[in-house]
Amino acid sequence: MSNRAVTVIPPTISPLARMPLAPTAKRRVAGYARVSTDSKEQMTSYKTQVDYYTRYIQEQPDWEFVGVYTDEGISAVNTKKRDGFNQMVRDALNGKIDLIVTKSVSRFARNTVDSLVTVRKLKEKGVEVYFEKENIYTLDSKGELLITIMSSLAQEESRSISENVTWGQRKRFADGKVSVAYKQFLGYEKGEDDMPRIVEKEAVIVQRIYALFMAGKTPGGIARLLTAEGIPTPAGKEQWRSSTVESILTNEKYKGAALLQKKFTVDFLLKKMKPNKGEVPQYYIEKSHEPIIDPAEFELVQAEFARRKAIGYRYSGSSIFASRIVCGECGAYFGSKVWNSTSKYRRTIWQCNAKFQNDQHCSTPHLDEEEIRARFVKAYNILAADKTQLLDDCRIIQTSLSDCSALDTEIPALQEEMDVVAGLIRKCVEENTRDAQNQSEYGARYNGYVERYEAAQTKLEELQREQAIRQAKADSIGAFMFAISEQDALTDFDAKLWAATISSVTVHSDGRMAFHFLTGAEIEV
């Protein structure tokens, strides 16, 4: 037994890489370079990185240069939108790369989870990553521990940067500095003073969109028209969407004001944004920059939006008369019909849409468009006979609607009540978690708090709706005042004035027409 010989047979396969230990060929090596912004300074850094890794890899005698994968102007917080990075990983997993060289862990990823998951995927396929700054090789026994530490530090750095950026943005908002995504915003460009400056040729398109809307067109109809005419969208695309048109019609920046922090970041890792519904402060700046749309005209559009919303799906954008003329007998809207469409006697008439839908036909007469126009002129002139008194009455109504002092007192009280009850609910749950309790008593107490909270919430929502309705009516009156302020007696039909002043028109069986104005006044002609 003392003469027993032991021969050591060295391993030929790496337990990590599952590849022959003896080098049979050059290692296929790729570099990875990334910059997080598209600034001039960063672009210089980006080109330097690419040149450096190209030379560095090619100078190694036992390395075969595969290429340098790159991402420009992309954050490292997560890997979802990093096309260059993701392509590199796919190529590595498909056996095209043996080694990846990059500047540092923070260049690779500032998200600890993403970093470790990617490194482990590559490790399983025998692909190594070398972080030059930290001198870490991922196939090294201590590599993963070091990566975890360094990735965590990089993640915290990213969090700090995000918080600093957020603070800086909110400081600018509080100082009244307007922020606009100019590349996707029609009508403005960044001026020398960093404030919005009007682009005249684009402003004409914005003004036309507002005019088309007040002429009865829907956002969808306007979108189709602009697409057909080949006018590019704010983002430079060919196809307009109704949502794009609607955003232009409702964006306060076109009236020279700015509501800042409409959205905020809820997750710095995922860069997830959500609409601000009161979670963080908002900043409203009046007269922040030169308007494209007169503020009063802007309010006219918002009032028209509210009117159409109340009508709902039944609203038609085919004409300025659509969804405004109502049958006094059955309540249906009047719709347009073309008579003698193929002859020289062609004309458009309006009649009850439900006139022939039932056995009992409505007796309301049809109306010529010229007759509608003439009767509106007559009704408006009656209403505005004493324009001074009319405007004074409007101011009184507007002041009354704008007075929400009772609501302004009750709403904060309800919000405070909800906060108190929410605290009681949390305390109740914590006590039940910590101490053994009678579950029947606990359930009754918990449900009582929930009911109390929901009752306060329901009441709060009712008051907020009432507040919004009152404000919308006040804005409508303001828009009405703007529309008539510079308009004396009418001699011809004015489409814009019609849209700005008329709520609805009721047609009676005997042919009488009752014009209902936004002020609440009714003139029968």
Q: How many domains in the chain?
A: 3
Q: From CA 129, how far away is CA 105, in angstroms rounded?
A: 10
Per-residue pLDDT tens over the stretch 236-260: 899 999 999 999 999 888 888 877 6
Q: Report which of 65, 129, 75, 84 is spatially closest to residue 103, judged by C-alpha positions.
A: 129
Query: Do 412 and 519 sit in the same domain of this protein?
Result: yes
Mean pLDDT of 17-44: 64
- How does strand 63-71 pair with strand 27-34? parallel
User: pLDDT over 90 for what percent of the chain?
Assistant: 23
Structure-token pair, residue 206: 């914005």
Q: From CA 472, how far away is CA 484, in angstroms rounded?
A: 19
- Residue 476 near residue 500 (C-beta atoms within 8 A): no
The range of the structural domain enclosing residue 109 comes to 27-161
Q: Give the HSE-up count for residue 392: Cα atoms under 13 Å, Cβ half-sphere.
A: 4
Per-residue pLDDT tens over the stretch 140-167: 766 566 666 655 555 555 555 555 455 4
| Residue at a domain's end among 272, 293, 314 | 293
Residue 475 lies in a domain: yes
Q: From CA 351, how far away is CA 506, in angstroms rounded?
A: 12
Query: Do 151 and 207 sit in the same domain of this protein?
Result: no
Q: From CA 153, how far away is CA 119, in angstroms rounded?
A: 17
Split at pLDDT 50, 70, 90, the class of 338 is confident
Mean pLDDT of 435-460: 87
- Residue 273 pLDDT greater than 90, yes or no: no
The owner of tokens 């949390």 is 426
Residue 317 lies in a domain: no
Query: Do 187 and 227 sit in the same domain of this protein?
Result: yes
State the pTM of this model.
0.52
β-pair partners for 504: 516
Mean pLDDT of 212-217: 84
Residue 403 lies in a domain: yes
Query: Do 214 and 250 sit in the same domain of this protein?
Result: yes
Query: Do 188 and 257 sit in the same domain of this protein?
Result: yes
Residue 302 lies in a domain: no
Q: From CA 513, how far away is CA 510, in angstroms rounded?
A: 9
Residue 170 lies in a domain: no
Query: Do 350 and 479 sit in the same domain of this protein?
Result: yes
| Residue at a domain's end among 161, 195, 210 | 161
The owner of tokens 């003329």 is 325
Query: Do 287 and 336 sit in the same domain of this protein?
Result: no
Q: Any idea what the CATH number is for the domain that residue 145 is in?
A: 3.40.50.1390
Query: Do 414 and 273 sit in the same domain of this protein?
Result: no
Structure-token pair, residue 337: 């019909």
| Residue at a domain's end among 126, 161, 196 | 161
3-state secondary structure 188-215: EEECCCCCEEECHHHHHHHHHHHHHHHC
- The residue with greater pLDDT, 477 or 78, is 477
Query: Do 107 and 52 sit in the same domain of this protein?
Result: yes
Q: Any idea what the CATH number is for the domain that residue 218 is in?
A: 3.90.1750.20
436: exposed, middle or buried (C-beta count within 10 Å: 0-12, 13-18, 19+)? exposed
Query: Do 352 and 278 sit in the same domain of this protein?
Result: no
Q: What is the pLDDT of residue 42?
A: 46
Q: From CA 93, how far away is CA 206, in angstroms rounded?
A: 51
Q: Any idea what the CATH number is for the domain that residue 459 is in?
A: 1.10.287
Q: Report which of 319, 245, 355 is spatially closest to residue 498, judged by C-alpha positions.
A: 319
Q: From CA 156, how far away is CA 520, in angstroms rounded?
A: 60
Print burial letters for 174-196: b (CB count within 10 Å at least 16), e (below 16): eeebbebeeeebbbbeeeeeeeb
Residue 417 lies in a domain: yes
Query: Do 496 and 387 sit in the same domain of this protein?
Result: yes
